[in-house]
Amino acid sequence: MRLLPAVVSLSLTVALAYYVYIPLPETIQEPWRLMMLDVGFRTTMHLASLKAWLGFDHYIQSLRQSTEGFDDIMQGLCSSQSEGGVMPGVKVCDITFAGVPVRVYEPPAGGEGHLRRGLMFIHGGGWALGTTKKGSYDVINRMLSDELNTVVVSVEYRLYPEVNFPVPYLDCLAAAKHFLSAGVRARYAIDPERIAVSGDSAGGNLAAAVAQEISTDDTMSVKFSVQALIYPVLQALDFNTPSYLQNQHIPILYRPIMVRFWLQYFGADLSLLPQLLSNNHSSLQHSNITPELRARVDWTVLLSPKHKKNYKPVIVEKGSQGGAREVPGLLDVRASPLLAGPEVLAKSPRAYILTCEHDVLRDDGLMYARRLQDSGVTVTVDHYLDGFHGCFSFVTWPMEFEVGKRAVRGYLDWLQKNL
């Protein structure tokens, strides 16, 4: 009988180790910290799925409750840093721009007559999660406002499941136009020549799409001078790029999770996920996906050999019948900025694009950088060989990563010199 407790204990230990341990590339500097972070995320997702299956709550609503609760804890732990002695002069105000909730960060008052930089920030979260008012987004925007003497406007756009595409995009566009208006610029003493739009992940998607629209809108007298995109998601035609395949099992953004975010954003049937993972949704039989469109996401041309490696393109002759009809918005450049034509890209503001080697979205950012450069736009690519998706947000204790702190510092330094 004494053997039974030992066997049970050993079995539980092995099961726990199996659940926690994930093989990670040697270039990731803090692997065990990332594994423990991933355990938290995976457990949260499993519990959310269970609650949804039992009919207690929507999957995303459960995720939000868990992540926002975590952010509340982090906000309390970091309050002395973000609101105390480090950035005491930053004024924070929650208002609306054209009916869209925003949080405005104003730097300490300067001398009379001095204009300040302006930056609109759009948070990530798969168009379903996240808020600008808590956690690292709030901390980073306070830092940005204080260090760069910048008026930061962080947008609280509407999210899935309450809305689908194009509502989040339209919210951000409305807020951007209001931000760029003469009245707002005068109110906050913003230099019309030094205004940026920025965002991470899904927020980078929205920032790029808004930058394209503003840059081609002849009714806008003032436009963004800079776009700063942090591991942006930019296309939904090819989920078999080298980075999607290389990093499909790397935390915290697994390949199926990113595809699910896309389906949710488009309001499409989630049962289509295997079709998208196989690129069946963009097979050659879909005549509405023209060779010209395909060329705009052709990583065999747009990526360098060191990123293409030995991967081969996944091209499907005959796939699902519906294609764009089953996934509305699939070919809309407002959802997939990488599909924009060269005439649009040529008018885009100069760009900063942060990419991470261990991120399924790496190639989206690198392809966009190449296409912008080919269109005559000045681009800075800040690539982190030890970076992973989400690292930019992990800069506060106890979930801080050295690569995240370096990424934030590189972002701030580039804006300091280029905005």
**Could you list the active site residues?**
201, 359, 389
Q: Would residue 410 be called left, alpha or beta, if left means φ above 0 and alpha means ψ between -120 and 50 degrees?
A: alpha
Q: What is the 3-state secondary structure (H, E, C) of 83-136?
A: HHCCCCCCEEEEEEECCEEEEEEECCCCCCCCCEEEEEEECCCCCCCCCCCCHH
Q: Which of 193, 34, 172, 17 is nearest to 117 (CA)?
A: 193
Q: Which of 361, 383, 389, 372 is nearest to 241 (CA)?
A: 361
Burial grade of 219 (CB within 10 A; 0-12, 13-18, 19 or more) = exposed
Burial grade of 230 (CB within 10 A; 0-12, 13-18, 19 or more) = buried
Q: Are the C-beta atoms of residues 338 and 303 closer than 8 Å to each other?
A: no
Within 10 angstroms of residue 80's Cβ, the number of other Cβ atoms is: 10
Helices (H), 112-201: 135-148, 167-180, 182-188
Q: Are the C-beta atoms of residues 168 and 157 closer than 8 Å to each other?
A: yes
Q: Which of 301, 411, 297 is nearest to 351 (CA)?
A: 411
Distance CA 313, CA 153 (A): 40
What per-residue string of b and e applies to 139-154 under the rule 16 or more CB within 10 Å gives b? bbbbbbbbebbbbbbb
- Please list, in sequence order, all residues whose beta carbon lies within 8 angstroms of the beta carbon of residue 50, skipping any fewer than 6 positions away: none
- Please list, in sequence order, all residues whose beta carbon lies within 8 angstroms of the beta carbon of residue 161, skipping any fewer than 6 positions away: 58, 60, 61, 128, 264
What per-residue string of b and e applies to 48-66 under the rule 16 or more CB within 10 Å gives b? beebbeeeeeebbbbbbeb
Distance CA 169, CA 209 (A): 8
CA 21 to chain centre: 26
Pairing of strands 226-230, 100-106: unpaired
Distance CA 207, CA 229 (A): 7
